[in-house]
Chains A and B, each alone.
Chain A
């Protein structure tokens, strides 16, 4: 056991934060943490670490091609975002007349009919959250690619929020599904789903996958070592 012991101890609730001068990341120490069972192993070569000795999962120091995959998914989601909002999501046929609604149309309907809390919820979930996720992921990608070392804490927070909040944009898909399921009272009244739903659902799925494919450790790599940049 070496006398000089660089160490970093995780804070527990009652301990003061420790000094970080000698701390290093697992990658800097030549170790890989298994993404499944979190076991730390020392591979023979960092570039091709093999499998975790405990759970057998494929080891990788960072998510492979994280930046490329995330960009591809973000761009694809952005492309689908336009038809998702422009195409109708529900077409109501009542007593012979037909009416189509987009997502915004549904929000306005809720607002006008007095349920403004729900209008707000649907607006946030269906319009703000997907857009916010796309902007946030693009910001994370650009700053990581440029090797930025500032605001790492904030960027990690942003990533955490994107991951947490993403699934809620599925809200409108469920709303439409249940309206369609319940209002099948032909020939007097029936509701059909429109193409907008499929595009909207695609946006949600793609942004969720994009958030999962981004490796948040890349945010900190730039600060650890300028050369340790995995693209």
Chain B
């Protein structure tokens, strides 16, 4: 029986053993506390590797080409940020590079490292730090927002130019799909069970148990 505090409303509660695919919701605010994932470590690893490959392809091959008034231009994702920099919007260029390339790259790399490191428990402590960094980066990994942005940009340009999709854009689409699959199958709780404790060894009785049983 696992004792947790709901991260959204702080209510102390115990999570009963869950069937595969079963979900535990907070008794007070209904936010999801835990999901029992099937194949918690192998499946996300395979998906993360695939996502990493898709990401590399998406960034190294041309995303789109544009043909207009007899001239041609094409760009990669970094190319978009670079052009913003050249045009004087340095701050925006840095943020675009961060949200579209750096954050997703670091996020996937960290998840991959964590999943590989916990295959032989106990994993060293830095693995825990890396998982935390991955969680912090997640909201800043905005590849799907970028994709919609490209779509809107294409529509705006459709009248004056012919647009040629490159390999990069399909790879980016694959990356988004694979990343979503990773996030659905990844189970942080399983990872934390396999990480070495910072201070000594896990105690016999969890801190929450005493409180739930009325002791002080």
Contact = CB atoms under 8 A, between A and B. Distances in A.
A185 B202 CA distance: 63
A45 B159 CA distance: 66
A2 B89 CA distance: 65
A149 interface: no
A115 B155 contact: yes
Given A10-B15, A56-B198, A182 B153 contact: yes
Interface string B1-12: 001110111111
A40 B68 CA distance: 61
Categorize the interface residue count of chain A. 35 or more
A23 to B, nearest CB: 6
Given A6-B214, A26-B12, A182-B75, A54 B84 contact: no
Contacts, number: 294
A54 B75 contact: no
The residue in B22, B87, B135, B199 that gathers the most chain A C-beta atoms within 10 A of its C-beta is B87
Contacts of A219: 9
Given A10-B25, A37-B192, A5 B214 contact: yes
Interface residues of B, number: 93
Main secondary structure of the interface of A (DSSP, over half): mixed
Nearest to B141: A167
B212 to A, nearest CB: 5
B7 A33 contact: yes
B9 A217 contact: yes
Contacts of B210: 42
Interface of B: 3-5, 7-16, 18-19, 22-31, 33-34, 64, 66, 68-69, 71, 73-75, 79-84, 87-89, 91-93, 95-96, 99-100, 125, 128-129, 131-132, 135, 139-140, 142, 145-146, 148-153, 155-157, 159-161, 188-189, 192, 195, 197-200, 202, 206-208, 210-216
